[in-house]
Structure 1
Amino acid sequence: MHIESRRTPTARVTQNVLSVAGGGDAGGETVVLVHGNVSSAVFWRGTMLALAEAGHRPLAVDLRGFGDTDPAPVDATRGLRDYSDDLLALLDSLGLDGVHLVGWSMGGGVVLQALRDRPAAVRSVTLVNPISPYGFGGTHGADGALNHPDGTGGGAGGANPEFVKRLAAGDTSADSPVSPRSVLRSSYVKPGTKIEDEDEDAFVASMLSTRTGDDHYPGDTVASGEWPGVAPGTRGVLNAFAPTHFRLDDLHTIDPKPPILWIRGEDDVIVSDTSLFDLAHLGALGVVPGSPGTPAQPMITQTRAALERYGSYTEVVLDCGHSPHIERPAEFRAALTGHLKRS
């Protein structure tokens, strides 16, 4: 078996889709895998091969502005709907219905938005270390209340400018703690996790496929008079899942409600109740000066509260960081395939 790549025209953008050839069951149930921020479908290759061996038909898509999908600009005022509408357009183009959706990190928000907007098209959902249903940064409490009306603390202003610079320059080194390779080693996976050299190089290349700028990553920045001085803009990736633009308060109202599996790493430093990428938590640690005591966003608590209202979900916690499918592949695949069989 091997992975094939094909650019697929849709009613919105031409999207790059990975599939498995030379094995598996082409007639099996379709599982569509959606990657996270600063990555691409390449991060799903091992999962795809395992799913094909189990008789499923896995497809992994590059979101707009990542991998080999068209770099169409991101209108952040629509939340994550530029991405989720692209995903639904891909399903339409391929004539797919009743699919299993799997979303990692930002991709978890994308598949939840697709579920919210077209629940009848979804047979099951698997969330892998997903962003909170109330976005990333700028909220507090289990119900995602805004810290300030303008969403201060969320959006593109939270990006590390040196990381963005190195990403844009195609830096493959590990000579800085904020180079893409170093961030992969320290934050995408639990520090000390062994990644084979060939895989690591592929993952770094995947990260470097991210388009940068105001229309892409991280997006446009807006000043705020409230601490920490930045608020969500209207364009680009990080603004698309800022709390003023992306909120799924009513996910529990959809009908039908396909089952949701939530898989997360217990040592995730990106999506956490004490995220090292949350300006509020960095303020509490003294890394970002001047904090007035703004609490960290309780991302895990928020997701659990939303899923408890939804009702039909299972939570699985693994001993790993932000990428269970990379760090704990056997346990991850067992949980995923079990969920698919039950759905």
Structure 2
Amino acid sequence: MGKFIEAGGIRQHVRTWGPIDGTPVLLVHGNCSSGGYWEPFVRDHLGGDATELRIVAPDLRGYGDTDTAPVDATRGLRDFADDLDGLLGAEGVFGSEAPVVVVGHSMGCGVAMQFAIDHADRVAGLVLTAPVSPYGFGGTKDLEGTPTTPDFAGTGGGTANPDFVARLDAADRSGDEQTSPRAVLRSAYVADADIFGADEEAMLDTVLSTATGVDNYPGDSAPSDNWPMVGPGERGVLNTMSPKWFSVAEDLVALEPKPPVEWLWGTADAIVSDTSLFDLAYLGQLGVVPGWPGAEACPPQPMVGQTRAVLERYAAAGGRFTETRLEGCGHSPHVERPDTVVEALHRLTSGRP
């Protein structure tokens, strides 16, 4: 199912299902993951579509078996989006130049947004599951994405937990420490730690496939005079999502043509929420990170509210979106509520409103 394709100047590893001339669907994974994070979803819930859909799930650069190419964070998520552009034009991926339905997860939704902005005519629809805000991750304080500080303090590569990074680098498969990749997978990626079942080891493999370092995860950082005294650097993954480099709300609203959007989010998401446990402002409010300057200066980022506000503007400008709120669902709707994600995907591949 997996194969290597030279595209976009790097060797990309992709998983494919279905006939090459089927309706094209592109699955884009999130951070600290790989295309393999989609495998149980496709295997168990899209098997009946095997004769109708052409499903492609690449490993992004620095993840899975794709080349560990450097990530230029000053381009936001565009390095990843450009890789997708190269992949779509490669032989043996899709059988036509028909627009694709792009299904993103977490950071992968930001990649999908950037790809749609750059190649609107190639996107038939967007399924955004637990998406990073159109204003990036951290460092903004209202529905308009206003920065909390001029230098976007509290975002980027310096916000990663160094012990988690070290355990990634060591391919630690233990689950004893809270910062171990297995513990993070079980506590942050999903609301119910037992949901992975027999697939847990394979899902842990996707997390451990993350390339570490300043050019990949988490990236570099810069000192700041503002709390928490660290700001975004210019290299690596976490910096790509800093609002200093990734803020696509205006471009998304102005997009033409406007593909229909399906947005799914879980009320128990620990990563992307208005009370994210990965947002230093929220951790400061909880007293976990000392020195927090208070709610007026540095409130938690309203991530869900920002996405809704941008999509409402998108609709007012002539687009269409459907919001699906998943009660009790964590950060992985395609793992935790796969049938609902399949329904959203089918609405786009069938052209139904």
What's the TM-score, normalizing by structure 1? Answer: 0.95
The answer to whether 1:187 aligns with 2:188 is: yes
1:172-220 Cα distance to aligned partner (Å, 9 max, x none): 01010110110011000004443213x1000111111100000000000
Query: Which residue pairs with 2:305 in the alignment?
Result: 301
User: 1:308, 1:288 → 2: CA distance?
Assistant: 34
Deviations 1:240-297 (A, max 9, x none): 1100000112211111001010011111010001100000000000000000111000
In the alignment, what sits opposite 2:176?
175
Residue in structure 2 matched with residue 91 of structure 1 by the alignment: 88
Q: CA deviation at 1:93?
A: 1.7
Structure 1 residue 100 corresponds to structure 2 residue 101: yes
Given candidates 305, 315, 324, the residue that maps to 1:316 is 324
| Separation in 2, partners of 1:66, 1:227 | 31
Structure 2 match to 1:292: 293
**Conservation of the 8 A alpha-carbon contact between 2:124 and 2:348:** no
* Superposition deviation, residue 107 in structure 1: 0.1
Q: Secondary structure at the match of 2:175?
A: coil
SS at match of 1:190: coil
- The residue number in structure 1 matching 2:201 is 201
CA distance in 2: counterparts of 1:214 and 1:330, whole angstroms: 38
1:113-132 mapped onto 2 (5 Å cutoff): 113-132=114-133
RMSD value, Cα: 1.3
CA contact (8 A) 1:155 1:242 kept: yes
**Secondary structure of 2:3's match?**
strand
For the 8 Å contact 1:102–1:125, the answer to whether it is kept is yes
**Match of residue 150 from structure 2:** 149
| Structure 2 equivalent of residue 242 of structure 1 | 242
1:223 is matched with which residue?
223
- How far does residue 12 in structure 1 lie from its aligned partner after superposition? 2.4
In 2, distance between residues paired with 1:26 and 1:6? 14
Please identify, of 331-340 and 78-87, the stretch whose mean Cα deviation from structure 2 is larger. Answer: 331-340
In the alignment, residue 332 of structure 2 is paired with which amino acid? S
Distance 2:225 2:60 in 1: 33
Structure 1 residues 187 and 276: CA distance shift in structure 2, 3 A: same
CA contact (8 A) 1:108 1:127 kept: yes
Q: Which residue number corresponds to residue 12 of structure 1?
A: 9
Aligned letter for 2:87? L
Give the distance between the partners of 1:11 and 1:287, measured in 2 at CA: 42
Residues 172 and 178 from structure 1, CA distance in 2 versus in 1: closer, same or farther, beyond 3 angstroms?
A: same
Structure 1 unaligned blocks of 5 or more: none
Q: Kindly indicate whether the alpha-carbon contact (under 8 Å) linking 1:29 and 1:56 is maintained by their aligned counterparts in 2.
A: yes
Q: Residue 334 of structure 1: CA displacement?
A: 2.4
* 1:19–1:58 contact (8 Å) kept in structure 2: yes
Cα distance in 1 between the residues matched to 2:222 and 2:84: 29
Q: Could you tell me which amino acid in structure 1 is paired with residue 83 of structure 2?
A: D
Misfit runs of 4+, over 6 Å:
none
The TM-score, its normalising length taken from structure 2, stands at: 0.92
Secondary structure of the residue aligned to 1:146 is coil
Distance 1:221 1:97 in 2: 40
Alignment correspondent of 2:36? 42
The 8 Å contact of residues 14 and 58 in structure 2, kept in 1 or not, is answered as: yes
Unpaired segments ≥5 residues, structure 2? none
What is the identity, as a one-letter code, of the residue corresponding to 2:233?
G
Give the drift of 1:329.
1.9
Q: Which amino acid aligns with 1:334?
A: E
Would you say 1:61 and 2:55 are equivalent positions? no
Residue identity opposite 2:12 in structure 1: Q
**Alpha carbons 1:321, 1:327 under 8 Å: kept:** yes
Take 1:189 and 1:175, find their aligned partners in 2: how far apart are those partners? Answer: 18
The Cα shift of 1:52 comes to: 4.7
| Cα distance between partner residues in 2 of 1:324 and 1:155 | 25
Match of 1:273 in 2: 274
Q: Percent identity, please.
A: 50
SS of 1:342's partner is coil
SS across alignment from 2:89:
helix
Q: Is residue 339 of structure 1 aligned with residue 345 of structure 2? A: no
Quote the offset at 1:46 in angstroms.
2.5
**How many angstroms does 1:298 deviate by?**
0.4
Query: Which sits farther off after the overlay, 300-309 or 24-33?
Result: 24-33
In structure 2, C-alpha distance between the alignment counterparts of 1:234 and 1:221, rounded to whole Å: 7
CA contact (8 A) 1:91 1:97 kept: no
Given candidates 11, 16, 21, the residue that maps to 1:27 is: 21
Q: The residue matched to 1:9 in structure 2 has which SS?
A: strand
Q: How far 1:42 sits from its partner (Å)? A: 0.5
Residues 28 and 56, structure 1, Cα contact 8 Å, conserved in 2: yes
